[in-house]
Amino acid sequence: MELTATQAQFTTLLDNDVLARLEKMRLMPRRRLTNRSRGEHHAAKGGTSTEFADYRDYVAGDDVRYVDWNIFARLERPYVKLYRHEEEMHVVSIVDASSSMQFDGKFEKARQLAAAFGLMGLMNVERVSTFVCNHAGREPLFMPPCTGRVSRRRLFDFLEKIEGGGDFPIDQAVEAALRRHRGRGIVVLLSDFLTFGDLERPLNMLFSAGLEVFAVQILAPSEIDPEVTGDIRLVDCESGHTVDVSSAGDLLGIYQEHRLALEEELGILCRQRSGRFLSISSRDPLDWVLFDLLRRKGWAR
């Protein structure tokens, strides 16, 4: 029975009911960063879609087909009707697959969220691409842009097959992804953001590239509330570097201050670039994150 149930799942990343609910959700970017190719997202500039946007005074040279004659009849002045231009939006996910994400289900949570954001993009006829960064110095794993419902299988297969491990810092990973990426839209950063590098530069690059940042910090419970005490030697799983800490239990208060300060700093960096930031625990239920938290934060509807 269990085998049958497993085979019935569309993907191992998300349950079918979650998939069903996700298909009805739509990303809510603050900025309308779209591509010129036609899509289902209204562009900021006027367009030729059927959805009315505004009126403006008629000027010489305008196509008279867009003059609203009803208004002209009542006001005796010509006004031109403006329609929204629906363009395609790019949804790119950059997944941190380094060794630091291999703790306590962080990477698993990142893959699920990447699948969820990608599915929302696909179901809204956006161009969806995914970068997975693990080993520094190598090109990130890349799933080329795809669109449409038919690309779901491709997206899930890509995310299911990727393996974690490596030492790719998230700041360098963003730069490496941007070297290949073309298109405006939304970039979903899925990482723990625990890096020694500078995050301001990659965020600026994303902003310049016309990508609205949706940054999700995924931390393990042992990072949110570490239970350490006494004299210990901490080993960085990526670099192998060590730090000796004495009376670690007495430093937990300062650790929490620094962790919260990092969250605050990341949030400020994102907001200053019209982006969004969210910090979750790898133990947080996926349903709650997708259907409660994202909606309350206005990331999707």
Partner 1 sequence: MSWWPFIANQWAWLFLLLVPLVIFYFLKLKRPRLDIPSLALWRSVLNDQRVNSPFQRFKRNILLLLQILLLVCLVLAAMQPFVPSGADRANYLPILIDTSASMAAVDGEGRSRLDEAKLEVRKLIDNLLPDQRLCLISVSSSARQLTDFTDNQRVLRDALDRLEVSQVASRLEDALRMTQALARTVPIETAVLYSDGNVPAEIDFELPFQLNYQQLPPAGKNIGITALNARRSDTRWDVFVRVEGTKAAPGVDEPPTSAGVALLQNGKELANEMISLAAGQSQRIVFPVETAGAGMLEVRLKPEGFDALASDNIAYLDLPVGRPLAVFCPVELESYRHALRGNKDVLLYPSGEGESKAASYDLVITDRKVDADLEAATFLFVGIVPDDLAKLVHMEEALAQVIDWQRSTPLLQHVLLTDLQIADRPVSAEGVRDRDYEDLGYEILAQGRTGPLVLRKESAGRTALYILFHTDRSTLPYRVGFPILVSNAVQIAMQQAGLSEIRGQQTGVLPPRNLKPETVYQVQAPDGSVSEAPSATDGTLSGVAAPAIGRYTIREGSTSVASIGVSLLTVSETSLATVEQLQFRELSVGVAGTMLKSDHPLWGAFAAVGFVLLLVEWWYFQRRPVRAQRST
Site residues for partner 1 per CB under 8 A: 99-104, 106, 192, 194-196, 220-223, 226-239, 241-251, 254-255, 258-259, 262
CA distance readout (Å), 246 to 190, 222, 230, 232, 289: 32, 18, 6, 6, 37
Between 12 and 229, name the residue whose CB sits nearer to partner 1. 229
CA–CA separation, 26 and 187 (whole Å): 15
- Cβ at position 234, least distance to partner 1 in Å: 5
- Cβ at position 3, least distance to partner 1 in Å: 24
CA angle 125, 129, 134 (to 5 degrees): 155
- Cβ at position 197, least distance to partner 1 in Å: 9
C-alpha radius of gyration, the chain, whole number: 23
Between 79 and 107, name the residue whose CB sits nearer to partner 1. 107
- Cβ at position 195, least distance to partner 1 in Å: 6
- Cβ at position 253, least distance to partner 1 in Å: 9
- Cβ at position 266, least distance to partner 1 in Å: 12
- Cβ at position 279, least distance to partner 1 in Å: 13
Residues shown for the chain:
301
Between 22 and 189, name the residue whose CB sits nearer to partner 1. 189
Between 78 and 165, name the residue whose CB sits nearer to partner 1. 165
Are the CB atoms for 130 and 158 separated by under 8 Å? yes
List, in order, residues 6 or more apart from 140 with CB less than 8 Å away.
94, 131, 132, 133, 134, 168, 173, 176, 177, 180
Between 18 and 132, name the residue whose CB sits nearer to partner 1. 132
CA–CA separation, 67 and 145 (whole Å): 39
Between 87 and 171, name the residue whose CB sits nearer to partner 1. 171
Buried b (16+ CB within 10 A) or exposed e, 55-92: eeebeeeeeeebebeeeeeeeeebbbbebbbbbbbbbb
Between 34 and 102, name the residue whose CB sits nearer to partner 1. 102
Q: Residue 156's closest CA among 111, 220, 221? A: 111
Are the CB atoms for 133 and 94 separated by under 8 Å? yes
